[in-house]
Structure 1
Amino acid sequence: MSTFLRTAKSASDWTNSELSAYNIAFDDMSPNDFFPPFEPSVDHLDPAILSSPPGDTNSAISDAAASYLGYLSLVTRATDHNFVVDFAAETLKLLGFNEPCTTVVTRYSVPLSICGEENHVAQADVSLIHNNPNVVLMVLVQDKSTPSNRCNAGAQVVAAACITINGTVPTFYLVPVTTELGTAVATGRYPNSPTVVSKCAIAAAHVGMKDIEYRRIAFKRLLAFKTLAKSHWLPQSERV
């Protein structure tokens, strides 16, 4: 509603109040409704990555598999948030997100204009950037919310991400950033048209990708999201 208070905030400070202030809502969808109808194959991946435990020290596995499983071991055992960022970046690279003319980068600040102020950013833990010129195609943000503030995690996603990752469990979003919404955020005004963000959470074992079966499912969902995201970002990247 137009009576909601709107102030200039960086993306990490957004709460559910900002969602209401900018007429934004979530539509929780099942994987069958969210993703394309075909299921991508993961047979091209190193079998050891699909079937070995985190940190496997078997000398018979490839260096690439040992490296990835090492990242997985760190993120499943440690509390350092940086390990989650590094693991997420390695996962996107493993699944081929860094195609020609695109680069996976970490800790990229996306500039934002909010309520007439231009000195704000969306801090993306991992970004996929089209190289010439630089266009941000996709961003991933680590979900650092706690049980006491989990309601605000979605608000920060609207401002800053297409994927969040909680440990090794991804959640996917399609955010239709229209001209009306962009203008509303930049000027601090209420948009008349609602913005409905599609959201898909993947049920997981409590250990996430440490579980071999869930790891395979997560890889397939990430590959499916790459195809889905391309259908939204390709027209933009081809225009530049």
Structure 2
Amino acid sequence: MTLTHTRNVVHPHIAKSGSAWTDADLRLCNVNIVDVDIASFFGIQELPTPSVSPAVLNSKVSYPQQPQPSYTHTALTNEERLFFHYLQAAMDPGPDQDAAVVDFTLHLLHLLGFTQPNPSKQHPEEAGGERRVLRRNYDLPLFMCGRTVHAIADICLLVPSARMHHGDTVLLLAKASPTTITTSSASSTSASAAEAQLFAQAIAAFQCQNRARRRAHLAPVETQVVPAFIMAGTAPVLYKIEITAGLVECVQTAQVPPKVTSVLRLELPVERPEAARMEGMAPLDNRKVMLACLEAFKALV
């Protein structure tokens, strides 16, 4: 399924914070969001086994509406116990759900090993084994339409710079969203806004990286694919957001980009896709697939 945001717009760019971006801003940026399968998204045919304990993979858990949680494994480590605690809190709809989703996502990324150093050609700054860190409410300055505003990432995985003025290296962006998010053609306002805000954060991360590279007397990058995801309740929606220097220049100068920007969105290979975002990781079959997708996602970070 392809959702194409055309250039047929009726109002110009205006500078606004990342939290104020909507679907209209995606249209102004000429964004094309494409739903793809595992092979197209990851370049693999089979998902890897999640690097979590058997208790996390196989313990049955009740839904938040039920009075008491029920686990298959009676003896859980503290990390496993916290996983199920945060899982249930994040699935409970209410005014505090967004904060609970952030708590769940932070714990899950730690549990899956996203904070372990992974030196690569893409991120040579990790060659010394410097540990990655997760930050909550990370401020990414966004230069837009001649002004500097801000895009605040709910969760950001980064490598802290050894030199303060060089800036941190952003590896992954994550956004919390209530369970009502949908990716159908009749997307709700919250769904399109969440995607638009994630896109704004990706642009800001690209800008921050190039500012840091200029301060370090390095050539700026021309294209970057930013891994990102929305945690809708406890169901991850994974994205690969392609940001180019040409797109960023248009955002900075209040122009509509002439070229389409492609954003790949993974179709979760679960048995009940229409219910996946409401069920989240509570059902065992959903949990194994979603954790396997996040495990494969590590290779892109």
The alignment's TM-score, normalised by the length of structure 1, stands at 0.85
> Are residue 207 (structure 1) and residue 214 (structure 2) matched?
no
SS in 2 for 1:18: helix
> Are residue 158 (structure 1) and residue 199 (structure 2) matched?
yes
Q: In the alignment, what sits opposite 1:183?
A: 249
Q: In the alignment, what sits opposite 1:82?
A: 99
How far has the Cα of 1:175 moved from its partner? 0.9
Q: How many residues align?
A: 227
Q: Deviations over 1:7-45 (max 9, x none)?
A: 001112112221221221111112332123142112x42
Q: In the alignment, what sits opposite 1:216?
A: 288
Deviates more, 1:151-160 or 1:215-224: 151-160
Q: In the alignment, what sits opposite 2:120?
A: none
Q: Which runs of 5+ in 2 are unaligned?
A: 1-6, 62-68, 118-130, 163-167, 182-186, 203-227
* Residues in 1 aligned to 2:232 and 2:147: alpha-carbon distance in whole angstroms: 31
Report the AA paired with residue 185 of structure 1: V
Contact 1:56 1:69 in 2 (8 A): no
> What RMSD, in angstroms, separates the aligned Cα atoms of the two structures?
2.2
Q: In the alignment, what sits opposite 1:126?
A: 155
Deviates more, 1:26-35 or 1:49-58: 49-58
* Residues in 2 aligned to 1:29 and 1:114: alpha-carbon distance in whole angstroms: 30
Give the % identical residues: 29
Q: Deviations over 1:143-175 (max 9, x none)?
A: 246675134333223212610111001111111
* Residues in 2 aligned to 1:22 and 1:189: alpha-carbon distance in whole angstroms: 8
Contact 2:28 2:256 in 1 (8 A): yes
Q: In the alignment, what sits opposite 2:174?
A: 140
SS in 2 for 1:175: strand
Q: Deviations over 1:92-117 (max 9, x none)?
A: 11111001331112121211111111
User: Which has the bigger relative contact order, CA under 8 A and spacing at least 6?
Assistant: 1
The alignment's TM-score, normalised by the length of structure 2, stands at 0.69
Q: Which runs of 5+ in 1 are unaligned?
A: 231-240
Deviates more, 1:123-132 or 1:74-83: 74-83
**Cα distance change on mapping 1:224 and 1:16 into 2, 3 Å:** same
Contact 1:36 1:224 in 2 (8 A): no
Q: In the alignment, what sits opposite 2:49?
A: 41
> Are residue 99 (structure 1) and residue 116 (structure 2) matched?
yes
Contact 2:31 2:263 in 1 (8 A): yes
* Residues in 2 aligned to 1:109 and 1:56: alpha-carbon distance in whole angstroms: 39
**Cα distance change on mapping 1:98 and 1:175 into 2, 3 Å:** same
